[in-house]
Amino acid sequence: MKKLFNITISTLLGLTFITSTISADVSKGKKLYAQKLKSKCGMSGKQFASKHSQDEWEEIHDAGKFNDEIKKICHGATIDEKSLPHIYDFAYENANDS
C-alpha cells in the first residue's frame, strides 16, 4: 500500500512540473513581442492584440494560422515556433474584448 501511495504521489508531482513548464507565459509574450515584432509591426503590443477578440485569436491559433496572422498584421514578419505560444497568450489576454 505504501509503495502504491509513493508511486501515485511521485506521478502527480512529476505531472505538476511538466504542465508548469509547458504552459506559455503572458509576460514573456509581451517581452518577445517588444523584442521581435514591435518595430516590424509599427504598433504597440496592446494595439496588436486588440486587432481581434479572444474568440478570434483562439480560432486563428487552433487553425494553425497564428504565424500567418502575424505576417498579415506585421507586414510579413514571422516568429519562431518556440515563441509563438507566448505571443499567442499575450494576444489572447489583451484582445479587444478582454
pLDDT digits (tens, 9 = 90+) for 39-82: 999 999 999 999 999 999 999 999 999 999 999 999 999 899 99
Q: Is residue 95 within 8 Å of residue 49, measured between CB atoms? A: yes
With vertex at residue 74, the alpha carbon angle to CA 72 and CA 79, rounded to the nearest 5 degrees, is 95
H-run or E-run covering 16: helix 2-22
pTM of the predicted structure, to 2 decimals: 0.73
Question: Taking the domains of the chain in order of start, what are their residue ranges?
Answer: 26-93
